[in-house]
Structure 1
Amino acid sequence: MNTKQLFGASMLVAALGGGAIAQQTDGQYVQVAEIEIDPTQLDAYRAAVQEQIDAAIRKEPGVLVLYAMSEKDNPTHVRVFEIYRDRNAYEAHLGSDHFKKYKATTEKMVKSLKLVQTVPIMLGAKSK
């Protein structure tokens, strides 16, 4: 299994914790954000993304999964795995106050951003 496959598998398992399940993905909006952070801003970025994800999960019923992680050997390379109920939930997330705050706070921290829209084949996880 290569690094990308391992990342994907571990994200799906983590994302779907709970009982052994096969997740239906019809209509869901799923993407991975690939982000490069200014090394001098890494701690501040981590705090900002933690605050944003916490608020989104608490306040937005359409946000199903948000996981941020960095590469072990290159911590300035961050990936955010995102699952939304549907495209409308994603659009609502972009318009939320906490997301706008995150974007404004991290604007000078982010050196590059690539959004990769994905099509889930199968999402599954084991119970805890």
Structure 2
Amino acid sequence: MPLVRIAELEIDPKQIGSYRALLAEEIEASVRVEPGVLFLHAVAVKGTPEKVRVIECYADRAAYEAHLTTPHFLKYKTASMVRSLRLIETDPIALQAKSGAISN
């Protein structure tokens, strides 16, 4: 069963640009090099760029635990731009995506 969670973050408004660049780098590396990272999608709440939501999907708990030890994640995690973080555990119902359909 895949592990899916939602991260609700509040970012220091003065550091939005730097945070977005670091997050994009972390997501790209995670999806590219980690077979257990099925998808990572980051969005900002419309009109409030400091409120970021990341939807994460891992093949299983072991893939998630492995992700937490990677250099790209540790670089992202140690950045001091995040004012608050709330992780929401989920029970997946239906997960579908078109391969390569969304990219920046």
SS of the residue corresponding to residue 35 of structure 1 reads strand
SS of the residue corresponding to residue 95 of structure 1 reads coil
**CA separation of 1:89 and 1:72: change in aligned 2, threshold 3 A:** same
SS of the residue corresponding to residue 68 of structure 2 reads helix
**1:111 aligned residue (63, 83, 89):** 83
**CA separation of 1:91 and 1:126: change in aligned 2, threshold 3 A:** closer
Write the distance in 2 (CA, Å) between the matches of 1:84 and 1:123. 12
Matched pairs, number: 100
Write the distance in 2 (CA, Å) between the matches of 1:70 and 1:59. 25
- Flag the structure with larger Rg: 1
Structure 1's unaligned 5+ residue stretches are: 1-26
Q: TM-score, normalised by structure 1?
A: 0.74
Q: Which amino acid aligns with 1:118?
A: T
Aligned equivalent of 1:50: 24
Q: Which amino acid aligns with 1:116?
A: I
Structure with the higher fraction of residues in helix conformation:
1
Aligned-residue RMSD, C-alpha: 1.4
Write the distance in 1 (CA, Å) between the matches of 2:29 and 2:98. 26
Q: Are positions 1:93 and 2:93 aligned together? A: no
Q: TM-score, normalised by structure 2?
A: 0.90
Q: Are positions 1:62 and 2:36 aligned together? A: yes
